[in-house]
């Protein structure tokens, strides 16, 4: 059963965030435990002071005063208690005018609040009392109360924890997303590590449900590509057969016709025609080879372990007679070495390199095909003693249908282009340099 990215994200995020929330509740509880007792003690002190204040208040000749000498009366408010007694209209009757008046509704008997006093905020208690001259409001505040520092400490703790909680939450979210998206990363790496020739369907058994439709679509696309590649390869194969058969027959008939005594008067014309047919056959073979070497036609090419020594031996054997007729020394210097390649494409590659070398090497020259290991990598090199390729032309000769100015013969300019395409399929590098002693050309391939 396919997993779900959503479920994994919930699992990776829910439990850690719940633990963070529990820690936050613990911080708030500790704030309550440490701040609340101080607040309750201060409130009790304010209430006692308010009661004592009213017990010692008296009205003499219409004026309010505080009785401090009556025996048996309630204790007077402490010196650090500030108070103010106001009538219902807010006029100060007794006490400190700097203590701001508090407005109490008709249904409110007591009110705790924070009031500014001498550039400080003090916790105050305002109480309504009924007296013979009408209701009064007594406001008391403790100048040395611990409520404000405790409240400030509680606020700082809360703010600090909120910032810590935010940071922890962001880290947990980031970690949870990274862990939850691991299946996507694995899928991306699997696709990125594939070569263009690997069109195997992606295993959708372990793919998350959210991206399963994407994988199904990709597999459908891979299937269509495999079918298209097979159709293209079949077309190339059929075309090669349809072209080669009549051209080969035409060449055979021309050879027979040239040998006939009756054809001697037009023999030079027949020889010209034979050369044209030979060039046509060579161009057709190169075009078909180039089509087969195209990466689009070889996406699904099956590579296998190939012995370079064996391939080079077969190719050199085919060109040996041509080299003898042209008075060219065709040699081989090969060590046993294996490469991962398509045998038929590798045969085409070596054939084009040898054909090019023989074409541009003058009589009395030499062509050497070598292979082995260089720096831990397999290499294949073809060196000739021809006119060479100037450094400024070594990139242009890799292009299709390009021939250097004043090149001999009637080539099509496809030989090195075919080599370049086949090398690209096999992830090999092609290096064109001068031959030994700066004479001729050396084309070297390094395989991965």
pLDDT one-digit tens code per residue, 131-178:
877 888 888 888 775 445 555 666 677 777 777 777 777 777 777 777
Question: Which residue range forms the structural domain that includes residue 218?
Answer: 200-301
Higher-pLDDT residue of 253 and 147 is 253
Asked if residue 54 lies in contact with residue 83, where contact means CB atoms within 8 angstroms, the answer is: no
Q: Is residue 393 part of a domain?
A: yes
Indicate the residue among 164, 186, 216 that finishes a domain. 164
For residue 79, the domain's CATH number is: 3.30.450
For range 361-366, the mean pLDDT: 89
Report angle CA 239, 245, 246 to the nearest 5 degrees.
Answer: 105
Asked if residue 394 lies in contact with residue 432, where contact means CB atoms within 8 angstroms, the answer is: yes
For range 439-445, the mean pLDDT: 88
Residues 336 and 231 in one domain: no
pLDDT value, residue 178: 77
- Is the per-residue pLDDT at 123 higher than 50? yes
Q: At what angle do helices 415-425 and 343-360 cross, to 10 degrees?
A: 150
Least Cα distance to 267 among 254, 278, 277 occurs for 254
Tokens of 85: 């007694």
The per-residue pLDDT of the chain, averaged, comes to 77
Q: Is residue 187 part of a domain?
A: no
Q: What percent of the chain has pLDDT over 70?
A: 78
Report the number of distinct structural domains present in the chain.
3
- Is the per-residue pLDDT at 211 higher than 70? yes
Give CA–CA dist 153/143, Å, rounded: 18
Least Cα distance to 371 among 398, 345, 339 occurs for 339
pLDDT value, residue 73: 45
Asked if residue 201 lies in contact with residue 34, where contact means CB atoms within 8 angstroms, the answer is: no
pLDDT in tens, 262-296: 878 888 888 888 778 777 777 777 667 666 666 55
pTM above 0.75, yes or no: no
Least Cα distance to 91 among 68, 116, 122, 62 occurs for 62
- Is the per-residue pLDDT at 315 higher than 80? yes
Residues 307 and 421 in one domain: yes
Residues 355 and 408 in one domain: yes
DSSP 272-291: HHHHHHHHHHHHHHHHHHHH
Residues 121 and 143 in one domain: yes
Residues 125 and 70 in one domain: yes
pLDDT in tens, 329-352: 988 888 888 888 888 888 888 888
- Is the per-residue pLDDT at 236 higher than 70? no
Higher-pLDDT residue of 266 and 78 is 266
Quick one: pLDDT band at residue 115, thresholds 50, 70, 90?
A: confident
């Amino acid at each position: 059963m396919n997993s779900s990215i959503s479920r994994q994200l919930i699992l990776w995020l829910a439990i850690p965030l719940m633990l963070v929330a529990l820690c936050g509740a613990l911080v708030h509880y500790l704030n309550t435990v440490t701040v609340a007792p101080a607040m309750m003690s201060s409130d009790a002190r304010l209430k006692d002071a308010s009661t004592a204040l009213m017990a010692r208040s008296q009205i003499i000749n219409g004026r309010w005063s505080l009785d401090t000498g009556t025996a048996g009366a309630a204790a007077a408010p402490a010196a650090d208690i500030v108070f103010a007694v106001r009538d219902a209209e807010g006029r100060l009757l007794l006490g400190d005018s700097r203590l701001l008046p508090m407005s109490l509704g008709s249904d409110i008997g007591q009110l705790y609040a924070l009031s500014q006093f001498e550039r400080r905020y003090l916790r105050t208690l305002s109480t309504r009392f009924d007296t013979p001259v009408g209701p009064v409001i007594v406001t008391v505040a403790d100048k040395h109360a611990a409520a404000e520092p405790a409240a400030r400490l509680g606020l700082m703790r809360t703010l600090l924890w909120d910032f810590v909680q935010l940071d922890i939450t962001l880290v947990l979210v980031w970690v949870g997303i990274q862990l939850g998206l691991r299946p996507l990363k694995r899928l991306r790496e699997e696709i990125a590590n594939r070569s263009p020739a690997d069109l195997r369907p992606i295993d959708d058994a372990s793919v998350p449900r959210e991206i399963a439709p994407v994988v199904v679509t990709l597999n459908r696309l891979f299937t269509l590509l495999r079918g298209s590649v097979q159709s293209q390869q079949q077309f190339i194969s059929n075309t090669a057969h349809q072209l080669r058969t009549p051209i080969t027959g035409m060449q055979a008939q021309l050879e027979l016709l040239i040998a006939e005594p009756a054809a001697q008067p037009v023999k030079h014309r027949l020889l010209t025609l034979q050369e044209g047919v030979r060039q046509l056959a060579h161009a057709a073979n190169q075009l078909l080879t180039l089509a087969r070497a195209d990466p689009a036609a070889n996406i699904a090419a099956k590579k296998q372990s190939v012995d370079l020594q064996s391939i080079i031996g077969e190719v050199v054997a085919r060109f040996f007679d041509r080299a003898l007729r042209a008075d060219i020394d065709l040699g081989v210097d090969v060590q046993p070495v294996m490469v991962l390649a398509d045998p038929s494409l590798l045969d085409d590659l070596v054939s084009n390199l040898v054909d090019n070398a023989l074409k541009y090497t003058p009589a009395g020259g030499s062509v050497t095909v070598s292979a082995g290991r260089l720096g831990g990598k397999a290499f294949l090199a073809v060196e000739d003693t021809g006119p060479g390729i100037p450094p400024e032309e070594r990139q242009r000769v890799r292009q299709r249908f390009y021939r250097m100015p004043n090149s001999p013969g009637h080539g099509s300019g496809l030989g090195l282009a075919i080599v370049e395409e086949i090398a690209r399929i096999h992830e090999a590098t092609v290096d064109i340099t001068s031959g030994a002693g700066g004479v001729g050309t050396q084309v070297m391939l390094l395989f991965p």
